[in-house]
């Protein structure tokens, strides 16, 4: 996929005309927000997206249509994070590509042995292991009474508005628990959190406040609100995704 490059003339226009720049940014954000219905179960946009993706996959896999039946998702679009994947489906149908469905039993010096006992000799093995989303930062964060953030979030990462958690004074987060969105501008959300945190810091400084910490009751309220919202979204469909720490039976979104 090719990115878009702004011309020198456009950049100068943005710099010299704040109203023009603001209108352009609002147009971009509105475009992202308009697809919010895609994340809600049963909406016309969600149904239309499902049909579009199915037809698109069939078209791109037309050379080997049996592959579509093997890899078509049994969950709604958006349950996992959507990616462009340019060239991926096209690569699967190339004559020099073997699409193997059997699970990997083990890896040996010469290649991969699948569950059927067959050795597939290879030159290079590419491991797509993903990333870990279920744990706090790898560095220690200590709160009230010496409680570590790893302990506090042992069962579930909790927060208030995704930017603070109870028991940890003066700790503010960017992109904390329940911060990810399936539509709209993540940049705008980060900026909003930044503005909120700055207001907290200014209040602490101006009023000589020793520490600021969110009440546990407010964290519980936000969790209840988040859980109630996600029940009607595609994120709770039957798929393994990092939104649920890779657990298909996880009933809560990270």
Give pLDDT, residue 29.
84
88 and 167 housed in the same domain? no
Residue 238 in tokens: 């039957």
**2 located within any domain:** no
Q: How many domains does the chain have?
A: 3
68 and 32 housed in the same domain? yes
102 and 89 housed in the same domain? no
- According to DSSP, residue 79 is labeled S
**200 located within any domain:** yes
Residue 24 in tokens: 């352009």
Q: What band does 28 get if pLDDT is binned at 50, 70 and 90? A: confident
107 and 44 housed in the same domain? no
Name the one residue in this structure whose structure tokens are 């980060």. 190
Q: What band does 2 get if pLDDT is binned at 50, 70 and 90? A: low
Name the one residue in this structure whose structure tokens are 């456009």. 10
149 and 228 housed in the same domain? yes
Question: How many Å separate Cα 210 from the centre of its chain?
Answer: 35
Where in the sequence is the domain holding 168, given as residue range(s)?
144-244
In which order are the strands placed within the sheet that holds 119-121? 104-107, 111-114, 119-121
187 and 122 housed in the same domain? no
**1 located within any domain:** no
**201 located within any domain:** yes
Mention every residue, 6+ apart, whose C-beta is less than 8 A from residue 134: 157, 245, 246, 254
Burial of 145 (0-12, 13-18, 19+ CB in 10 A): exposed
Write out pLDDT tens, residues 82-115: 877 889 999 999 999 999 999 999 999 999 999 9
162 and 230 housed in the same domain? yes
What are the C-alpha distances in Å from 226 to residues 31, 62, 159, 188, 190? 24, 41, 11, 19, 18
């Amino acid at each position: 996929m090719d990115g878009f490059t702004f011309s020198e003339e456009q950049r100068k226009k943005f710099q010299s005309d704040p109203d023009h720049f603001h209108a352009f940014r609002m147009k971009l954000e509105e475009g992202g927000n308009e697809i919010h219905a895609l994340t809600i179960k049963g909406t016309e946009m969600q149904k239309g997206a499902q049909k579009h993706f199915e037809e698109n996959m069939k078209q791109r896999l037309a050379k080997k249509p049996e592959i579509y039946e093997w890899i078509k998702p049994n969950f709604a679009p958006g349950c996992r994070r959507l990616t462009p994947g340019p060239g991926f489906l096209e690569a699967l149908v190339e004559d020099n590509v073997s699409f193997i469905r059997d699970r990997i039993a083990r890896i040996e010096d010469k290649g991969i042995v699948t569950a059927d006992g067959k050795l597939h000799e290879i030159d290079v093995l590419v491991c797509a292991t993903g990333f870990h989303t279920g744990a706090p930062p790898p560095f220690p964060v200590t709160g009230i009474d010496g409680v570590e953030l790893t302990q506090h979030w042992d069962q579930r990462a909790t927060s208030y508005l995704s930017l603070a958690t109870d028991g940890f004074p003066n700790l503010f987060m960017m992109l904390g628990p329940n911060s990810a969105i399936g539509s709209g501008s993540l940049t705008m959300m980060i900026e909003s959190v930044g503005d909120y945190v700055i207001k907290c810091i200014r209040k602490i400084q101006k009023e000589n406040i020793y520490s600021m910490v969110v009440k546990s009751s407010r964290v519980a309220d936000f969790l209840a609100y988040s859980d109630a919202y996600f029940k009607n979204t595609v994120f709770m469909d039957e798929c393994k995704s990092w939104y649920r720490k890779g657990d298909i039976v996880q009933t809560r979104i990270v």
